Structure 1
Amino acid sequence: MSGTDAVTGGADVVIVGAGPTGLALGVDLARRGVDALVVEKADGLFPGSRGKGIQPRTMEVLEDLGVLDAVLASGGRYPVGMIWQDGRQVGEHRMFDADEVKEAAGDSAFTEPWMVPQWRTQEILFERLRELGGRVVFGREVVGLDQDEDGVTVRLASGAGLRARYLVAADGGRSVVRRALGIGMTGETVDPNPVLVSDVRITGLDRDNWHVFPPSGDGDGYLAICPLAGTEDFQLVAQFPEGTDVDVSLDGIRKVAAARSHLAPEDITEVRWASDFRPRAALADRFRSGRVFLAGDAAHVHSPAGGQGLNTSVQDAYNLGWKLGAVLREGAPAALLDTYEEERRPIAAQMLGISTGVHRGEIRRGAATVQLGLGYRDSALTEDTRTAPGQVHAGDRAPDATVADVRLFDAFRGPHWTLLALGTRAPALDVDSVRVVSGPAAQEPYGTGLFLVRPDGYVGWAGDSAAGLGEYAGRLGLVPESR
């Protein structure tokens, strides 16, 4: 269902917002057999490049969601920055520490950020959602909601209503749902200077470099022009003095480009999308209220510096999706949903600090921005019973490796749990949602033991033997039975 199709009834889950967060969640729920409906206020998908950097951890998530090939085909590597002054190239600037990123990537198949304009990422996720039979409706504005013990009633501007067992707000930094719930956001202005961001067509600039024009010293801000991989467009970003009324028209963009670079006004041939914003950082006071969850920008707003906003948002969806699926389709207790805020809010706070630090020049893009080292060691879902834990702890991202000729990320891919038995006997499990992978010897970097890997690729439980595994799995509705 899309476009102008009528909205009827409701769904198990209504997702408000068809951005990367809402679409990724829709994909994850659809592959779990959960009836979900994505409702979008606009008449179509967001048309701009905005969040163009996909970090290695998010690439792993997209591989699991079945869209990696399309993402790889639609994007490319980040170009080297070229510094310009008085119409001359005066030096290069690396946007991130490639060696540090590669070292931080470790076992990951993805050793650097991948550039895909946000509009294309959304198209890919939308196409995948439709392929899975998911539903999206455009032109439907949510204006309010009511919830009770059994579900949520969503009110639309048209006067129609939707009924859902759960509602997810993925409707951006100005979230209508968050405001309707009365959930505040705590934050700060990262930079008082307004910023123009636009997708443009340009002649006279090569596409091999990210062109940077530093401030001239006369009070104007910087200008940066980046070729958008997989397209004919450039993303033009310009900073202005505080209080400036930014002109986002073709003439306005031509003027700022000509004033701050060697480009002539007519070199900007087309503006395909443009917006202005004030960089800020903010975190919702709560990520849940009853049967309603906040995800993505509705829960945390980042400076675009460092490329953390879209990535943190997609990973919110990845964390919430399997939990909603477990409760709605697999008999897991509803209390499992309490762990969404417990796990994701601290991560969002950490990523906000990194985004702000990168924006202010206090942190360099590198190991801190690839998101591979994030985990949930302190989560209520994390249990490690080993007497001498090795390099990988419960709560950590489960590393990739090859066990008995099986690539672990291939084994992890899908909506199931995975039990790794490394150098020890695996208990026989009568559970369709758990796949067992056994190795005859200890496997680095895991070591020896049993590792129950969650559907989102993090180790939930680890032990030297199966003692305690049944109790842990039972709490999650898995109920394994030893034979």
Structure 2
Amino acid sequence: MTDAIDLRDAVGAAGGADRADVLIVGSGPTGLTLACDLARRGIAVRVVEGRPAPHRESRGKGLQPDSLAFFEELGAADSVRRKGREGVVLRKYFDGEPVKDTAVEGGLLIGQWQVEESLRDRLGELGVRVAYGSRLAGITQDADGVRAQLEDGTVIRAGYLAGCDGGHSTTRGLLGIPFEGIGEREPAMVLGDVKAPGLSRAFWHQWFTSDGGGILLCPMPGTDTFQLQAAPETDERGEALPPSLESFQRLFDRHARMPGVRLAEPTWLSSWRVNVRMATRIREGRAFLAGDAAHVHPIAGGLGMNTGIQDAAALGRTLAAVLSGAAGEEALDGYQAERLPVAAHVLADTARRYERVVAAVREPGRGTEAGLE
């Protein structure tokens, strides 16, 4: 087990070197899950993150039963359950009028930042801290291990490297692994975290209109904010406008038709584009990909964060077997053999789920639950 120290303290001045069994690039749910799993097994792990500090964005907002079961093994389940909420009622509106309430059971509604916070806390208990502001710049490897160079010149040597650094993965690019599939140039959705004083927090509000537009506001547990999702506004040329509080309010007024509610204090603004892509391979020698670095797909069904957590579980199990001597290096091929077919299935499945949701919301009383069917 590693000492509870910041990686940059351990490495020292730029150009110094450090050694770990596994270096993890990226501290989202996938990277932190993998780090917790390895650290609890007594494996020396390092985690580097390009961001300067943790974020507080809701992003992926649901943990499924399989993920919660694995968090039980990691010792993080109690923490996420305290922060999250089991079950949610979807209140569907059509042309401004409430039409139907649908209770959705199973899993846990929780902001992604809260999941990461719980995993970071657990990782700290295991003696490991994330090194923020540490951007990967180069990877070389040989029979003895991997040499990772950071932008500041720091060198980290490790037996293995796991790229868990998201859809725009630097790791994947440095390894020269193609990311094949399709992607839309124009955003299909704008998102954000906002306050909505006066709006009930008992429901995930889903307003749809007969012209095909809509806006959703989901109350995030443990906060006073809602996650907003909406089809973007367009300008006179039909091009999507960037997300902003002013645009969110206009979309809310158009679809919700509740003049007494004024949105406020956005803490996250983002756009989402339809992307269905997968890495052609998720192992390159001693380096591996997991989570969004390996596959991205539509958000319908809430499978993104959860698929990454299951990637981490599989990769942790594989690396631990090899590092403990319980299996030979030929076992490393098992990770790719197990998870690539899963990724291909999830891409196809979520594309179908997304099509179902897009069609369903044109029918009064239907909403995002169509993506769970």
Which band: TM-score by shorter chain?
A: 0.7 to 0.9
Question: Pick from 302, 314, 321: which aligns with 2:297?
Answer: 302
Larger Rg: 1
Name the structure 1 match of 2:92: 83
Aligned equivalents of 1:264, 1:191: Cα separation in 2:
33
Quote the offset at 1:208 in angstroms. Answer: 1.3
Map 1:434-449; keep pairs closer than 5 Å.
none
Question: Pick from 220, 231, 234: which aligns with 1:239?
Answer: 231
Give the match's secondary structure for 1:267: coil
Aligned equivalents of 2:49, 2:127: Cα separation in 1:
17
Map 1:65-464; keep pairs closer than 5 Å.
65-93=74-102, 112-189=106-183, 193-217=187-211, 221-240=213-232, 244-264=239-259, 267-361=262-356
Q: Is 1:16 aligned to 2:10, yes or no? A: no
- Does 321-330 or 47-56 show the bigger shift? 321-330
Residues 258, 4 of structure 1: alpha-carbon distance in 2 compared, 3 angstrom cutoff:
farther
- Does 223-232 or 280-289 show the bigger shift? 223-232
Quote the offset at 1:216 in angstroms. Answer: 4.4
Residues 204, 88 of structure 1: alpha-carbon distance in 2 compared, 3 angstrom cutoff:
farther
**Equivalenced residues, count:** 353
Name the structure 2 match of 1:456: none
Match for 1:194: what amino acid?
A
Quote the offset at 1:174 in angstroms. Answer: 0.6
- Does 191-200 or 351-360 show the bigger shift? 191-200
Aligned equivalents of 2:208, 2:198: Cα separation in 1:
19
Aligned equivalents of 2:138, 2:210: Cα separation in 1:
48
Aligned equivalents of 1:124, 1:116: Cα separation in 2:
11
TM-score by length of 1: 0.68
Match for 1:240: what amino acid?
P
Name the structure 1 match of 2:52: 43
Aligned equivalents of 1:14, 1:173: Cα separation in 2:
19
Name the structure 2 match of 1:467: none
Give the match's secondary structure for 1:361: helix
Map 1:28-67; keep pairs closer than 5 Å.
28-67=37-76
For the 8 Å contact 2:300–2:371, the answer to whether it is kept is no
Give the match's secondary structure for 1:350: helix
Q: Which runs of 5+ in 2 are unaligned?
A: 13-17, 361-367
Residues 369, 332 of structure 1: alpha-carbon distance in 2 compared, 3 angstrom cutoff:
farther
For the 8 Å contact 1:55–1:369, the answer to whether it is kept is no
Fraction of identical pairs, as percent: 39
Describe the superposition over 1:27-68 as per-residue Cα deviations: whole angstroms up to 9, x where unpaired.
001011111100000012232111111111111111111111
Name whichever structure is richer in helix by fraction. 2
Quote the offset at 1:91 in angstroms. Answer: 2.2
Aligned equivalents of 1:366, 1:248: Cα separation in 2:
25
Give the match's secondary structure for 1:313: helix
Quote the offset at 1:237 in angstroms. Answer: 0.3
Aligned equivalents of 1:229, 1:281: Cα separation in 2:
30
Give the match's secondary structure for 2:32: helix
For the 8 Å contact 1:224–1:237, the answer to whether it is kept is yes
Q: Which has the higher contact order (CA 8 A, sep 6+)?
A: 2
Aligned equivalents of 1:202, 1:63: Cα separation in 2:
34
For the 8 Å contact 1:84–1:213, the answer to whether it is kept is yes
- C-alpha RMSD over aligned residues: 2.5
Match for 1:76: what amino acid?
R
Quote the offset at 1:190 in angstroms. Answer: 7.2
Aligned equivalents of 1:280, 1:312: Cα separation in 2:
16
Aligned equivalents of 2:139, 2:81: Cα separation in 1:
39
Residues 366, 150 of structure 1: alpha-carbon distance in 2 compared, 3 angstrom cutoff:
farther
Name the structure 2 match of 1:426: none
For the 8 Å contact 2:190–2:270, the answer to whether it is kept is yes
